[in-house]
Chains A and B, each alone.
Chain A
């Protein structure tokens, strides 16, 4: 930290060269509301929600984009600032469908939060109907353009965080729209369905198709866990309702994935609740089929067969393969079973793939 000082709301704070007003404020627990700002991406200054009053500046300034400078004096909630934020929110509410009562995103919407925080009802201006409707022709992501406020966070998530370069701003002026490729359906575009855009979207314009109407933000429980697929080991939240996982989101700032997931991590949980899951032990019948059995019967059979084979052919006539997908404790227990109980080192797993 240098000895340069910025004054925010009457208090002095040190900062490092290049830090934005927003960064200094956040570091010191001062809440400047933002909408378009996405951490880890370059600030675009698109939404004007983070405007603050800077002494000697002629206009309000975007805290997310403006670097702090020595001797700067900033007010984050002055009457002028509040007035501007109200106006910004009014205008956003007037463009498109922002009908919180029936919105699947209600309760988890930055726009709704801002409206509440600044007491904005969205009645000041006549509503302009949105030009674009809903796209749900892919199995994973629903794009509801009528709720899109064109903040551009999804575009940044796609281009700067995940760097998949599938979506961008298309058209101009009143026709502006977030487009995939040359404005095609996501499933026909370069999109790889990592869903980072959903995570970035501050409203309900982008949502997981499966979860959209299944769970409200305040329902169910959230369980932190580690992704079961590749060796990156992303940290994720399972959103669970009535003992069913209904959606998965990334743990913000968690290591190693820093709030990112891929398509398998985010959308690859349905198998857990498949009706095809094995539910009871099975034993092979003489006619070749399986019959259901109790744990006692199945495990007694396994133990007695193992005993019989060890007696006849020795412990090395038994071999086992552990699972590289399952938890450590399972692999440990299996090798212990083979070594300490059965008496063989014939235990392996697909370590090399």
Chain B
């Protein structure tokens, strides 16, 4: 997030796209709702009419995967009607002409056909957005989990730059991160192209720095593989050994049949986790890890806040902290690492090696933590980025972007769009929440959410067992007939093995981020 949660309640205008906040980030949603009760305005863009719509002055139920067409069209109107922030565009951005030419191709009349939103509503939305400044844009996985995910993200930034909503309190582009420490795992360099602090592995200077710090003669100089490439490598035998730490890939990745075939192909699979799960079934070695409340450590939340995690109880049996396990493997392979605790890892390595975290030390994290960038130990941390229009590389660059449809769109055989996400009472594959009394009682099984119109057309009644089928697989699941879902759409989560939507999802990926298109594939719904 460019901005912070503490700004939500103070904001005057929100544009929320592809974010079912009240279920997926409930506490963040409370601040948005507080702001609305205090008079703030909220425009929500989402194919589904989820709970937040009750607080929105306008809900745009766009067709799945039409975000760029809508955003381009909003910008078309802003430029056409001269409602954009000329000063910000002139002084803080580059490439405006190219953007202008591109969005000129998206008049509301054209976008209306793609998004399923009347042209007049698009105009009205643009005018409303321009009428309050700053406006805060919030998005979640509805934006990223598409084959055009990166383009979606850039389009949201285009819009906010055009409106001059960057670099100020209560503005910005704010992705709510799905997992507690997805931000941190990125910051730590658990990525194929960067070390901690986003220092590139292809940069010789960075390599030399880390070679010295880690006391090794040489570090690999090419970018590594991303998850989907690793998985495919298992089948092509490019990848022989696979080490999975804490991810239940057999349920979370698209197209389960394909994923299981890939995992089965591994010559040597190590899985490190706190439970046996669908993925450990394929493992050759399973390593028992200490869980969340059994560790000292840190997380980084969506607003770049580094906060402490503290051990409350000992791990069961012989389970050990994950960093200890990695340290032990390193030792067996000839390297004796100096850090012997999470604190030493952070204070003596991570914060020393990452310029944006340099000022963050455990002793400074006793209470509410610190938000990076925090370059030195006297720095108070940073609530919002790009202050006064300062972008990392100087000026904010507009990217002209074309709308592209999802990889698989409905046709006669598979006439409905399946979109997937999370529900309130569970988290991911339920390895944790499925073992919590209460949560499991509140939501004991998966459902396929369908519209009244589609249910009626197929003679399906509430709670009836139905079949949902895609080109990749089929599942049996209970129908949940609901007004939240528009006709033509099926919505499901992936919390349960039984009826898991990932038997159906399409393993196609954004070409840059390799994020899978969890939000769109074509399915058929049948009465059994």
Q: Give A contacts to B, CB under 8 Å.
A: 138-140, 160-163, 187, 192-194, 209-210, 221, 223-235, 238, 240, 243-245, 254-257, 260-265, 267-272, 274, 276-284, 290, 295, 298-303, 305-307, 309, 313, 315-353
Contact pick for A231, options B286, B288, B301, CB 8 Å: B301
A281-B285, A300-B332 are known contacts. Are A347 and B190 too (CB-CB below 8 A)? yes
Q: Is the CB of A233 within 8 A of B226?
A: no
Residues of A with C-beta under 8 A to B192: 345-348
Residues of B with C-beta under 8 A to A329: 297-298, 323, 342, 345-346, 350
Q: Is the CB of B319 within 8 A of A295?
A: no
The dominant DSSP class at the A interface is: mixed
The answer to whether the Cβ of B511 comes within 8 Å of any Cβ in the partner chain is no
Q: Is the CB of B37 within 8 A of A163?
A: yes
Residues of A with C-beta under 8 A to B267: 309
Q: Is the CB of A231 within 8 A of B317?
A: no
Chain B residues 265 to 280 lying within 8 A of chain A, measured CB to CB, are 267-268, 270, 273-276
Within the complex, the shortest CB–CB distance from A253 to chain B, in Å, comes to: 9
Contact pick for A335, options B141, B180, B189, B246, CB 8 Å: B189
Once bound together, how far apart are the Cα atoms of A254 and B368, in whole Å?
6
A233-B307, A277-B291, A325-B246 are known contacts. Are A351 and B435 too (CB-CB below 8 A)? no
Q: Closest A residue to B276 by CB, please name it.
A: A278
Q: Is the CB of A326 within 8 A of B245?
A: yes
The answer to whether the Cβ of B98 comes within 8 Å of any Cβ in the partner chain is no
Residues of B with C-beta under 8 A to A341: 329-330, 333-335
Residues of B with C-beta under 8 A to A226: 180, 299, 301, 307-309
Residues of A with C-beta under 8 A to B404: none
Residues of B with C-beta under 8 A to A309: 240-241, 267-268
Contact pick for A333, options B6, B327, B369, CB 8 Å: B327
Q: Is the CB of B276 within 8 A of A302?
A: no
Once bound together, how far apart are the Cα atoms of A269 and B432, in whole Å?
8
Q: Closest A residue to B241 by CB, please name it.
A: A318
Q: Is the CB of B247 within 8 A of A231?
A: no
Contact pick for B193, options A267, A303, A345, CB 8 Å: A345
A-contact 0/1 string along B505-522, CB 8 Å cutoff: 000001001111010000
Once bound together, how far apart are the Cα atoms of A270 and B223, in whole Å?
40
Within the complex, the shortest CB–CB distance from B331 to chain A, in Å, comes to: 9
Q: Closest A residue to B295 by CB, please name it.
A: A327
Residues of A with C-beta under 8 A to B334: 341
Q: Is the CB of A333 within 8 A of B323?
A: yes
Once bound together, how far apart are the Cα atoms of A102 and B434, in whole Å?
34
Contact pick for A261, options B27, B276, B328, B345, CB 8 Å: B27
Q: Is the CB of B288 within 8 A of A279?
A: yes
Chain B residues 195 to 238 lying within 8 A of chain A, measured CB to CB, are 195-196, 201, 210, 214, 216, 218-220, 222-227, 230, 233, 238
Residues of B with C-beta under 8 A to A301: 285
The answer to whether the Cβ of B488 comes within 8 Å of any Cβ in the partner chain is no
Question: Quick one: which of B28, B180, B216, B330 has the most chain A CB within 10 A?
Answer: B180
Question: Quick one: which of A194, A300, A320, A344 has the most chain B CB within 10 A?
Answer: A320
Residues of A with C-beta under 8 A to B320: 295
Once bound together, how far apart are the Cα atoms of A125 and B288, in whole Å?
61
Once bound together, how far apart are the Cα atoms of A192 and B423, in whole Å?
11
Q: Is the CB of A262 within 8 A of B27?
A: yes
Q: Is the CB of A240 within 8 A of B312?
A: yes
Q: Is the CB of B189 within 8 A of A276?
A: no
Q: Is the CB of B273 within 8 A of A278?
A: yes
Once bound together, how far apart are the Cα atoms of A298 and B227, in whole Å?
25
Among B80-88, B437-445, B457-465, B470-478, the stretch that binds chain A is B437-445
Residues of B with C-beta under 8 A to A332: 188-190, 196, 323, 345, 349-350
Residues of A with C-beta under 8 A to B5: 232, 255-257
Once bound together, how far apart are the Cα atoms of A274 and B310, in whole Å?
19
Residues of A with C-beta under 8 A to B18: none
Q: Is the CB of B30 within 8 A of A161?
A: yes
Once bound together, how far apart are the Cα atoms of A286 and B21, in whole Å?
47
Q: Can you list 22 A-B pairs with a CB-CB distance of less than 8 A? A: A163-B34, A221-B312, A228-B432, A230-B177, A230-B180, A243-B313, A255-B368, A257-B5, A261-B27, A270-B435, A270-B436, A277-B274, A309-B241, A320-B245, A327-B181, A329-B342, A335-B196, A340-B210, A341-B333, A345-B192, A349-B182, A351-B191
Residues of A with C-beta under 8 A to B386: none
Once bound together, how far apart are the Cα atoms of A244 and B434, in whole Å?
18
Once bound together, how far apart are the Cα atoms of A116 and B151, in whole Å?
63
Residues of A with C-beta under 8 A to B252: 350, 353
Residues of B with C-beta under 8 A to A316: 220, 224-225, 238
The answer to whether the Cβ of B178 comes within 8 Å of any Cβ in the partner chain is yes
Extra contacts besides A328-B184, A341-B329 (18): CB < 8 Å: A192-B26, A230-B178, A232-B5, A278-B286, A278-B319, A281-B286, A284-B284, A309-B241, A315-B220, A324-B184, A325-B180, A332-B188, A336-B349, A340-B330, A341-B334, A345-B192, A346-B225, A351-B513
Contact pick for B437, options A270, A276, A318, CB 8 Å: A270
Q: Closest A residue to B435 by CB, please name it.
A: A271
Once bound together, how far apart are the Cα atoms of A339 and B219, in whole Å?
6
Q: Is the CB of A350 within 8 A of B227?
A: yes
Q: Give B contacts to A, CB under 8 Å.
A: 4-6, 22, 24-28, 30, 33-34, 37, 55, 141, 144-145, 149, 176-193, 195-196, 201, 210, 214, 216, 218-220, 222-227, 230, 233, 238-247, 249, 252, 267-268, 270, 273-276, 283-289, 291-295, 297-303, 305-314, 316-323, 325-330, 332-335, 337, 342, 345-346, 349-350, 367-369, 424-425, 427, 431-439, 441-442, 510, 513-516, 518
Question: Quick one: which of B27, B183, B297 has the most chain A CB within 10 A?
Answer: B27
Q: Closest A residue to B176 by CB, please name it.
A: A231
Residues of B with C-beta under 8 A to A161: 30, 34
Residues of B with C-beta under 8 A to A339: 195, 201, 210, 214, 219-220
Residues of A with C-beta under 8 A to B189: 331-332, 335, 347
Once bound together, how far apart are the Cα atoms of A263 and B432, in whole Å?
14
Residues of B with C-beta under 8 A to A349: 182, 185-186, 190-191, 227, 247
Q: Is the CB of A282 within 8 A of B286?
A: yes
Q: Which 9 A-B pairs have the closest CB atoms?
A: A279-B317, A233-B301, A327-B297, A323-B246, A231-B177, A345-B224, A262-B26, A352-B515, A278-B288
Once bound together, how far apart are the Cα atoms of A341 and B217, in whole Å?
11
Residues of A with C-beta under 8 A to B302: 231-233
Q: Closest B residue to A262 by CB, please name it.
A: B26
A233-B302, A279-B319, A347-B192 are known contacts. Are A299 and B442 too (CB-CB below 8 A)? no
Q: Is the CB of B185 within 8 A of A232?
A: no
Contact pick for B425, options A263, A274, A298, A348, CB 8 Å: A263
Residues of B with C-beta under 8 A to A323: 185, 245-247, 322
A279-B288, A331-B190 are known contacts. Are A160 and B37 too (CB-CB below 8 A)? yes
Once bound together, how far apart are the Cα atoms of A334 and B325, in whole Å?
9
Q: Closest A residue to B183 by CB, please name it.
A: A231
A228-B180, A277-B274 are known contacts. Are A333 and B322 too (CB-CB below 8 A)? yes
